Amino acid sequence: MYSSLARRGTVYGTLLNHRDALAALGNAVNEPPYKAPPKAPVLYIKPRNTLNRDGEPVTIPADSDEVEIGANLGLVIGRSACRVSRHAALDYVAGYTIANDYAIRDYLENYYRPNLRVKNRDSATVLGPWLTDAAEVPDPMRLALRTTVNGKVTQQGTTADMIFGVAQLIEYLSGFMTLDAGDVILTGTPEGVVNVNPGDVVVTEIESLGSLTSLIVADPRDGTREE
């Protein structure tokens, strides 16, 4: 059952929460300065300028070579949550939505400290304007994700591959801060870096939740590539 999803809360993103995304870093996770894979969720906040809706354009730099397309299961908090155990965590979920969190690929980016320049571009986080009631999703850890560009599959995965599941993320965040009704947690994306160009149509689907559609457009403020 769908209901309207109002943008009244904070949107939190999670990095490296799919096993294939973490594996893609290879041995880099064991090198300085961290010398080990992350032991807790790697989180960041999506400011208001990044938020976008289904059907609205997504702007990218005109000279961008690669864009990370981040299909995410978004979980929406239904009531105030503070120091919630994972065993009770799902009782605080109002429902789920689809998100696609775009970022410009930066090979110098330190993944443990997200590069704000590439993660927080205007219009870069597309959220479904609807909420699928939690009761309609009996197992959020068994949902297939898929993204296509112009009809061609470019990214796919499943929430079963998440390192920190829905309940663990709520337990972790509510352990040091209060989550409010309307807050959204993006649970992380499978590995997938693709070329997209102005005019491309990107569709993100999550099993049982529906799909998002976005048209890629060039950001006129970025100029064009010099030949």
Task: For residue range 40-79, list pLDDT tens digits in order.
Answer: 998 889 999 999 999 999 998 877 767 878 899 999 999 9
Least reliable range by pLDDT among 52-61, 142-151, 186-195 = 186-195
Please give the structure tokens belonging to residue 150: 């112009």
Q: Is residue 185 part of a domain?
A: yes
Model pLDDT for residues 154-182, shown as the tens digit of each residue:
989 999 999 999 999 999 999 999 999 99
Please give the structure tokens belonging to residue 174: 């509510």
Which residues form the domain of 49?
Answer: 2-222
Determine the pLDDT at residue 110: 59
Q: Is residue 104 part of a domain?
A: yes
Q: Is residue 227 part of a domain?
A: no
Q: Is residue 66 part of a domain?
A: yes
Q: Token match 């032991």: residue?
A: 39
Q: Is residue 158 part of a domain?
A: yes
Q: Which helix (H) or strand (E) holds 142?
A: none
Query: Left, alpha or beta for 41 (phi > 0: left; psi -120 to 50: alpha)?
Result: beta
* CATH code of the domain covering residue 174: 3.90.850.10
How many domains, in total, are found in the chain? 1
DSSP bridge partners of 74: 97, 186
Radius of gyration, alpha carbons of the chain: 17
Residue 216 phi, psi (nearest 5): -85, 130
Determine the pLDDT at residue 227: 37
Q: Is residue 159 part of a domain?
A: yes
Model pLDDT for residues 78-134, shown as the tens digit of each residue:
999 999 999 999 999 999 999 999 887 765 455 666 677 777 888 999 999 889 999
Determine the pLDDT at residue 225: 43
Say how far apart CA 17 and CA 161 lie, in whole Å.
Answer: 8
Contact 97, 132 (CB under 8 A): yes
Say how far apart CA 3 and CA 95 lie, in whole Å.
Answer: 9
Q: Is residue 134 part of a domain?
A: yes
Q: Is residue 178 part of a domain?
A: yes
Contact 213, 85 (CB under 8 A): no
Q: In terms of residues, how long is the chain? A: 227
User: What is the share, in percent, of the chain residues with pLDDT greater than 70?
Assistant: 89
Classify residue 130 by burial, with Cβ atoms within 10 Å: 0-12, 13-18, 19+.
middle
Within the chain, residue ranges assigned H as helices are 19-23, 116-119, 166-174
Which of 20 and 193 is assigned the larger pLDDT? 20
* Strand runs labelled E in 102-179: 103-104, 125-127, 130-133, 144-149, 152-158
State CA 64 to chain mean position distance.
20
Least reliable range by pLDDT among 117-126, 183-192, 200-209, 218-227 = 218-227
Burial 77-101 (b: 16+ CB within 10 A, else e): bbeebeebeeeebeebbbbbbbbbb
